[in-house]
Structure 1
Amino acid sequence: MTTLVVASTQADATAVEEIRARHAELGAALRGRTDALFAAAAGGATAGAATDAQAARREVQEFTAATVLPHLTRLAADTLAKAREHDETRLLAQSLAAQQAGIVGAAQSLAHAPDPIAGVAAAGALTALTTAHLADVDDHLLPALAALPGVSLADLAAALPTPTTTTTGTGAPEPATADESAGTDPALAVGPDPAEPTPAVEPATGHGHSCACGGTEAPEPELDARAVPHAIRHATVFGALDAVQPGGSMILVAPHDPLPLLAQLERRRPGAFGVAYIEQGPQDWRLRFTRN
Structure 2
Amino acid sequence: MSTLTIASDPQDAAAAEAVEAHHTQLAGDLAGRVALLVATAEHETPAADRARAELVAFCDRDLLPHAAAEEETLYPVAHDLPAARLLIDGMLAEHRRLAALVDALRTTGSAVQAAADGRALQVLFEEHLEKENALVLPLLASAPDVSLSGLLAGMHELLGHGEEHGTAAEAATTAGGCGGACGCGGSDGTDVPELDVRDVPHAIRHATVFGALAAVPSGQSLVLVAPHDPLPLLGQIEDRHPGTFAVEYLQRGPEAWRLLLTHR
Shorter-chain TM-score category? 0.7 to 0.9
1:147 aligns with 2:121: no
1:62 aligns with 2:62: no
Alignment of 1:53-202 (within 5 A): 53-158=48-153, 159-161=155-157, 162=161, 165-169=165-169
* Partner residue in 2 for 1:268: 240
| TM-fit CA distance, 1:73 | 0.8
Which 5+ residue runs of structure 1 have no aligned equivalent?
A: 44-48, 172-210
**Compared CA separation, residues 278 and 79, structure 1 to 2 (3 A):** farther
8 Å CA contact 2:170–2:217 kept in 1: the answer is no
User: What secondary structure, in the 3-state scheme, does the structure 1 residue paired with 2:188 have?
Assistant: coil
**Compared CA separation, residues 283 and 53, structure 1 to 2 (3 A):** closer
* Partner residue in 2 for 1:223: 197
Measure, in 1, the Cα distance between the counterparts of 2:128 and 2:201. Answer: 21
Over residues 165-213 of structure 1, what are the superposed CA-to-partner deviations in whole Å (9 max), with x where a residue is unaligned?
4432459xxxxxxxxxxxxxxxxxxxxxxxxxxxxxxxxxxxxxxx933
| TM-fit CA distance, 1:96 | 0.6
* Partner residue in 1 for 2:176: none
- Tell me which amino acid in the other structure corresponds to 2:224: I
8 Å CA contact 2:193–2:223 kept in 1: the answer is no
8 Å CA contact 2:73–2:152 kept in 1: the answer is no
**Compared CA separation, residues 166 and 140, structure 1 to 2 (3 A):** farther
Measure, in 2, the Cα distance between the counterparts of 1:165 and 1:117. Answer: 27
| TM-fit CA distance, 1:57 | 1.6
Measure, in 1, the Cα distance between the counterparts of 2:87 and 2:261. Answer: 40
Measure, in 2, the Cα distance between the counterparts of 1:256 and 1:121. Answer: 31
Provide the TM-score with structure 2 as the length reference.
0.75
8 Å CA contact 2:249–2:260 kept in 1: the answer is yes
| TM-fit CA distance, 1:121 | 2.6
* Partner residue in 2 for 1:52: 47
Provide the TM-score with structure 1 as the length reference.
0.69
Measure, in 2, the Cα distance between the counterparts of 1:114 and 1:148. Answer: 47
Measure, in 2, the Cα distance between the counterparts of 1:50 and 1:289. Answer: 19
* Partner residue in 1 for 2:175: none
- Tell me which amino acid in the other structure corresponds to 1:274: A
8 Å CA contact 1:34–1:127 kept in 2: the answer is yes
8 Å CA contact 1:72–1:100 kept in 2: the answer is yes
Bigger drift between 65-74 and 244-253 goes to 244-253
- Tell me which amino acid in the other structure corresponds to 1:249: L
Which 5+ residue runs of structure 2 have no aligned equivalent?
A: 172-184
Measure, in 1, the Cα distance between the counterparts of 2:209 and 2:50. Answer: 23
8 Å CA contact 1:103–1:126 kept in 2: the answer is yes
| TM-fit CA distance, 1:91 | 1.6
**Compared CA separation, residues 74 and 262, structure 1 to 2 (3 A):** same
| Alignment equivalent of 1:249, drawn from 222, 239, 243 | 222
* Partner residue in 2 for 1:213: 187
| TM-fit CA distance, 1:148 | 1.0
Measure, in 2, the Cα distance between the counterparts of 1:268 and 1:157. Answer: 26
User: What secondary structure, in the 3-state scheme, does the structure 2 residue paired with 1:89 have?
Assistant: helix
| TM-fit CA distance, 1:160 | 3.5
- Tell me which amino acid in the other structure corresponds to 2:92: A
Measure, in 2, the Cα distance between the counterparts of 1:289 and 1:265. Answer: 10
8 Å CA contact 1:18–1:157 kept in 2: the answer is no
Root mean square deviation, CA, Å: 3.4
- Tell me which amino acid in the other structure corresponds to 2:241: R
